[in-house]
Amino acid sequence: MPKKSLNILFASSEAVPFIKTGGLADVSGSLPPVLRGLGHDVRLILPAYPEALDRMVRTKEVAQLRLPGHHETVRLLEGTGENGLPVYLVDAPSAFQRGGNPYLGPKGVDWPDNHRRFTLFSRAVTAVGLNHAGLEWKVDIVHTNDWQTGLVPALLNSEWQKPASVFTIHNLSYLGLINYPAFSELYLPADLWRMEGMEFYGNGSFLKAGLAYADQITTVSPTYAKEILTGTFGYGLEGLLQYRSDHLDGILNGIDYDVWNPATDLHLDHRFDVSNLDQRVHNKRALQREFDLPERDNAMLLGYIGRLVDQKGADLILDILPRLHTLGNVQMVFLGSGNQYLEKALREAQFHFPEMVRCRVGYDEGLSHRIEGGCDAFLMPSRFEPCGLNQLYSLRYGCVPVVHATGGLADSVVDVTAETLKNGTATGFSFQNADPDGLWYALRRALVCYQSRPDLWRAIMARGMESDFSWHKSAKQYQQLYYKALGGEPRV
């Protein structure tokens, strides 16, 4: 018998192709279409940032909402993405019509009214979820993501007739903290401010609200789901997460195989697949030219892409650059932006090692594809990593990942050992201790393999390229979870 088709409202503060600052946008843009492919009516809801308004097609106003604590009437716009995915935009110009980053002002610090902006967004999501927007669409599941939508499960909780709620943790370290005066500006139910609710060591946390009230909690890899139950990774929420562990699952993110496909990728000079890996060297040369590095085929070209924050461990790479330099015949390119001290340190490294290191400070989608398609290996020494997407893109592009074995990195990269080589499962190099020596240990092994065993290196590349990290399997796990949130497996 076929399974019941569900109405799912997928709420996120960013989604490809509308607006992106990190992996949350990739997931929010790529999971809903796959769930639709499974027969569910999934609709995405986002704040109406200028970029999102520009990119939505067939836009029309479908409702006007009056939301507590907000003086403007909020317009609900409906349209579709370029792939036909139905999308709602919450149009509140005073909150979302601003240039730049969705969370940060021009000086790189949080917008001071983020608590008001994302409370407003959460109230709009709740209104649609409760069918209070007059859309004649009865929602079964509201799927919320990270602190920006953490209030939604809390607001739904006090309602009688309500959809089930799922809250996905993409990164537990962003707690969405507010103090009590800020909380009192929000006209939220007063009883949210208690230990069992969103109160968090004297402050409040939007993320904690999601964890406390959602019917089901997920995070983006099985290993991270275990790690966050410990004091090292739990950010003070490990107690609550242990308490709710019967409702906590880890589902590994997939990637969009249409966008990240080296055989069709228009960002690459030369497209390739596992049957014509020789083409890759042309991309490597093009990348060396683009970064103004000496064009050397036999130099091992390493890449890094990511936000420049402590989490990602770019400082560990910077630390081992002098050691790498003594080895010779290695090149390293960085693409990222974030903390000013890390941006400065990258520029200094480029100055000290002009033949070896190049950095591009900024955000550049096309270059991120060219790095994956041209580098020999990809470094991801994250101190913690809920899932991580770049190692998945690297695997797909034959750019062998060198990773700290944590979270989703541990779940997706199979370390090269005598045993994994023998059984043909090895896809990369990993290390246990997130420190420069740990990274050095893994990178040395990778270098030796690259330089002395090209046959083996190719086999590792090929194995990674053939691994399946499409959404197919994970979307089915979400489907199971939605049925669980609804209390069973309803059938039509």
Using the rule CB under 6 A, which residue among 8, 9, 19, 23 binds ligand ADP?
Answer: 23
Q: At what angle do helices 472-485 and 23-37 cross, to 10 degrees?
A: 80
User: What distance in Å separates the CA atoms of residue 139 and residue 477, rounded to the nearest whole number?
Assistant: 20
First to last CA, the chain: 7
Q: Does 401 bind ligand ADP (CB under 6 A)?
A: no
Q: Does 337 bind ligand ADP (CB under 6 A)?
A: yes
Least distance (Å) between residue 237 CB and ligand ADP: 18
How many residues in the shown chain lie near ligand ADP by CB under 6 A?
19
Least distance (Å) between residue 216 CB and ligand ADP: 21
The answer to whether residues 30 and 16 touch, using CB atoms and an 8 Å cutoff, is yes
Q: Does 336 bind ligand ADP (CB under 6 A)?
A: yes
- By beta-carbon proximity to ligand ADP, the closer residue of 127 and 475 is 475
Least distance (Å) between residue 386 CB and ligand ADP: 7
Written as one letter, the residue type at 411 is D
Using the rule CB under 6 A, which residue among 33, 210, 306, 428 binds ligand ADP?
Answer: 306
Residues 6 or more apart from 271 whose CB is under 8 A from it? 262, 263, 264, 265, 279
Closest by Cα among 13, 213, 221 to 122: 13
- By beta-carbon proximity to ligand ADP, the closer residue of 12 and 368 is 368
Least distance (Å) between residue 366 CB and ligand ADP: 9
Q: Does 19 bind ligand ADP (CB under 6 A)?
A: no
Least distance (Å) between residue 457 CB and ligand ADP: 23
Residues 26 to 85 in contact with ligand ADP, rule: CB under 6 A: 26
3-class SS of residue 80 = strand
The region of 5-13, 277-285, 323-331, 334-342 touching ligand ADP under the rule CB under 6 A is 334-342
The answer to whether residues 24 and 207 touch, using CB atoms and an 8 Å cutoff, is no
Using the rule CB under 6 A, which residue among 269, 310, 319, 364 binds ligand ADP?
Answer: 364
- How many CA atoms, within 13 angstroms, populate the side-chain half-sphere of residue 24? 25
90 token code pair? 């919450």
* Burial call 302-330: b when 16+ CB within 10 Å, e when fewer: bbbbbbbbebbbbbbbbbbbeebeeeeeb
The residues that bridge with 428 in the sheet, in sequence order, are 415
Q: Does 388 bind ligand ADP (CB under 6 A)?
A: yes
Tell me the chain's radius of gyration from C-alpha atoms: 23
Using the rule CB under 6 A, which residue among 98, 267, 296, 307 binds ligand ADP?
Answer: 307
Q: Does 363 bind ligand ADP (CB under 6 A)?
A: yes
Residues 118 to 157 in contact with ligand ADP, rule: CB under 6 A: none
Binding site for ligand ADP (CB under 6 A): 22-24, 26, 171, 305-307, 335-337, 363-365, 368, 387-390
